[in-house]
Amino acid sequence: MNVLVYQVISNNNVLTRMSASLANALANAGVNASLLPVAGADSIRDAARLISEAEIDHVVAFASFTADLQTLDGQSLYDALGCGLVGWDVDHPAYQFKRFATPIQKRVQICASQSHFRFARRMMGCQAVERLMLPAVDAVPDHSLPMEERPIPAMVAMSWLGEPDVWWSGTKGTPVYPLIEGVVGRLLADEEVDLFKAYEAAVADTGLPVAFDENISNLLANIALFVRRYDRMRLAQALAEMDFPWLICGSGWRDRLGERAHLTYGDDLDYANLDDLYGKCRVALNLNAANGGSERAISAMASGAAVVSDRSPLLQAEFETQDAIRFFDRRLPSTIEQVVASLLGSGEAQGVGARSRELVSQAHLWSHRATCLVETLQGLACEPHLQMDEVS
């Protein structure tokens, strides 16, 4: 099997790192796997030539990069080249309408949320073999510091996304205003932030005859970004008001929150440095899990930290049943203090961290993801006309 993995070159982008890790794991699994750095139109032309000359069976593209490329007659580029596409997305499909709406005959889609699959399938008509997967790590470190020797009580890595601007206020008095308000209100009240469910309910309530298209998808993407900013700002303010020491990694927060005795700021969000910090912290806070953003949770677990996260059905299924994670209610960020205090005060953090680290070593390495992907692609080769409900 010949597999080509795209690596979109970007400074300190988690997808750049994940691409290299997956390509290496596929090669170790016996696949003829190549990693191709891509940036710009010339790279795509080179990729198309390589796919044809090297008889590539499948291309793996994080963020479903290039899934929207078509020939002049409207055929998918990958259909024209005779190879399949594996789209691996760690964000909501609403941000990438064309990449999900473009039909591809041999498509495998990987997401970290069933609601993302429902959205892509029902709203965008995306037909694919679906696989539900979390991100992974290359390896679990050989040594993990005991909790009592870790110098950082608690930390969170979070990018500065800006202030939550109510950009739709200018639409007041128009039919779209109650629709936006309805979606926003439902998302803020939903612990799992299900955009598909919120949109369907809001359309039903307003009775608007809305035909879903790229404009509506962009509208929902902007709503989702507002909710993400809103949640992040409320959480940051809650941390600032706690009487508990936190390390906050990410530029911009010092200026926004100000100097406080219990807060330490780190501007660096470099992933290699974060892995080192996770190995020195007792509790790591994970954000945006409801939207599929769980790569930092897995990294922290691999380092033996006890992870506290907003709720994700997949994280819950993989780790909560083994008492290897704790969740907080994203609607009430002040509850984080109680969850963290309980972990550290009771001594449970050591056990939670150890159990999660073991689970990562057993099932959440890139070698495990490569094995699952190879099995999926081999099944597709044997029965190319499988429908997605037969394999999901």
pLDDT one-digit tens code per residue, 84-97: 999 999 999 999 99
Exposed / middle / buried, residue 11 (Cβ in 10 Å: 0-12, 13-18, 19+): exposed
Q: Which of 42-51, 91-100, 199-208, 319-328 is the least confident region?
A: 42-51
Q: Which of 36-50, 160-174, 216-230, 325-339 is the least confident region?
A: 36-50
Residue 68 sits in the same domain as residue 153: no
Give a yes or no: residue 214 inside a domain.
no
What's the CA gap between 325 and 336, in Å, rounded? Answer: 13
Q: How many domains would you assign to the chain?
A: 2
Residue 351 sits in the same domain as residue 242: yes
What residue type is assigned to position 160 of the chain? W
357, pLDDT greater than 70: yes
Residue 122 sits in the same domain as residue 161: no
Residue 97 sits in the same domain as residue 153: no
In 252-373, at which residue ranges do the beta strands (DSSP E only) sit? 263-266, 281-286, 306-310, 326-328
Residue 226 sits in the same domain as residue 359: yes
Phi, psi angles (nearest 5°) of residue 285: -95, 130
Residue 116 sits in the same domain as residue 152: no
Structure tokens at 351: 């056990």
Residue 309 sits in the same domain as residue 332: yes
Residue 227 sits in the same domain as residue 322: yes
Give a yes or no: residue 303 inside a domain.
yes
Tell me the average pLDDT across 254-260. 95
pLDDT tens for residues 2-27? 999 999 887 667 899 999 999 999 99
Give a yes or no: residue 186 inside a domain.
no
Give a yes or no: residue 141 inside a domain.
no
Residue 86 sits in the same domain as residue 131: yes
Kindly write down the DSSP assignment for every residue of 241-253, as one continuous string.
HSSS-EEEESTTH
Give a yes or no: residue 142 inside a domain.
no
pLDDT tens for residues 151-184? 999 999 999 999 999 999 999 999 999 999 999 9
Tell me the average pLDDT across 303-315. 95
Give a yes or no: residue 198 inside a domain.
no
Residue 272 sits in the same domain as residue 386: no
pLDDT cut 70: percent of the chain above it: 97
CATH number at residue 279: 3.40.50.2000
pLDDT of residue 384: 54
Place of tokens 């039903």: 204
Tell me the average pLDDT across 340-345. 95
Residue 333 sits in the same domain as residue 263: yes
Helix, strand and coil content of the chain, in percent to the nearest 5, comes to 50, 15, 35
Give a yes or no: residue 205 inside a domain.
no
Give a yes or no: residue 332 inside a domain.
yes
pLDDT of residue 291: 78
The residue count of the chain comes to 392
**Domain around 80:** 2-136+366-391
Residue 310 sits in the same domain as residue 237: yes
- Cα 151 from chain centroid (whole Å): 29
Neighbours of 332 (CB within 10 A): 12
Phi, psi angles (nearest 5°) of residue 33: -110, 140
What's the CA gap between 283 and 260, in Å, rounded? Answer: 20
Q: Which of 8-17, 64-73, 218-227, 249-258 is the least confident region?
A: 8-17
Tell me the average pLDDT across 135-157. 96
pLDDT of residue 389: 42
In 57-147, at which residue ranges do the beta strands (DSSP E only) sit? 58-62, 84-88, 107-111, 129-132
Tell me the average pLDDT across 68-96. 95
